[in-house]
Amino acid sequence: MRIATFRDEAGRARLGVARDGELVDLLRAATALNAPEAREAPALLTDMLALIAAGPRALDRVRELARLAPEDTTISLAVAHLLAPIPRPSKNIFCVGRNYAEHAAESLRASGDPVPAKPSQNPNFFTKAVTTVIGPTDEIPYDPDLSAELDWEVELGVIIGEGGRNITRDDALAHVFGYTVINDISARDLQHAPGAQWFYGKSLDGSCPMGPWIVTADEIPDPSRLVLSLSVNGALKQHETTASMIFNIPTLISFLSRGITLEPGDIIATGTPAGVGFARTPKEFLRPDDIMESSIDAIGTMRNLVVTAATSHQG
């Protein structure tokens, strides 16, 4: 099931299920079907975090509502205004640095650092602020007075369903609600400033497009064979499969949950493959009017335009 957050005609956030080129408006469907959720638990039909926290039974009800939804409770995906699936995460996004060997090597070479013979034994985690999150067609703000080195990083996003602490690798995938596409936009001049400002360089407003929806985990039983790709103005920049991750998803969940409680709706961006702009010769960075397309084959595609910050708008 592909569950999206969208904005209705009145500007309110709602949940919808994508099917056959259309989006089922879950609240309208529940109302038309006289389902109890429309009266007793409307948040489950309008708020992704509430739906995730409600657990498997609520997800089953959403699946049933989408199946039974009358035609007049759907809208065309071509005109639907999709937001990020979780427009305002409850905490910072967990991110993984250098989780693909070729990207790790290109990053070290570009920084003038030696490439070790073996990858790190532990994943490298950092976070992005919640204010970075924008939708799958929202604009990327570009402010040259702040950063002239905006870079791209397509990544698989993992959404935690059932929370937990000290989760084993064997149990890890049972804690996944679903998957989405993330672009970890990075201001390289800020990230590589003295003091290694990773958090700052990764956390500018509007630097985390997410979407176009969450694909529930039952539709992706093996997330280790997904194809990621990213293009800028039609030119392919990144193309790889998640099989090339140094640390796979069960390992990341298990490692991160050692002493840190993962909660429903937490987001893990699992790292990007080779092909980023700052590691190219010559270096390439995003500029106003550039169009990025970030894709994962079993999930979908985001299309984001870069615009001068003073004219950008989201949501």
Domain boundaries, the chain: 2-82, 93-311
Taking only the tens of pLDDT, the chain with its 315 residues reads: 999 999 999 999 999 999 999 999 999 999 999 999 999 999 999 999 999 999 999 999 999 999 999 999 999 999 999 999 999 999 999 999 999 999 988 988 888 888 787 778 899 999 999 999 999 999 999 999 999 999 999 999 999 999 999 999 999 999 999 999 999 999 999 999 988 799 999 999 999 999 999 999 999 999 999 999 999 999 999 999 999 999 999 999 999 999 999 999 999 999 999 999 999 999 999 999 999 999 999 999 999 999 998 766 666
Task: Find out if CATH 3.90.230.10 is the number for domain 93-311.
Answer: no
Task: Find, among 153, 152, 94, 96, the residue nearest to 119 by Cα.
Answer: 96
Helix (H) or strand (E) holding 93: strand 93-97
pLDDT of residue 126: 97
Neighbour-count burial of 124, counting CB atoms closer than 10 A to its CB (0-12 exposed, 13-18 middle, 19+ buried): middle
CATH number of 2-82: 2.30.30.230
Q: What are phi and psi of 237, to 5 degrees?
A: -115, -35
Instruction: Compute the distance between CA of residue 99 and CA of residue 267 in angstroms, rounded to an integer.
Output: 16
Instruction: Compute the distance between CA of residue 208 and CA of residue 14 in angstroms, rounded to an integer.
Output: 21
Which own/partner pairs from 75-81 qualify as long-range (CB within 8 Å, at least 24 positions apart)? 75/16, 75/22, 75/23, 75/25, 76/21, 76/22, 76/23, 77/18, 77/21, 77/22, 77/23, 78/21, 80/4, 80/6, 80/16, 80/23, 81/6, 81/7
Q: Using DSSP, state whether 3 is helix, strand or coil.
A: strand
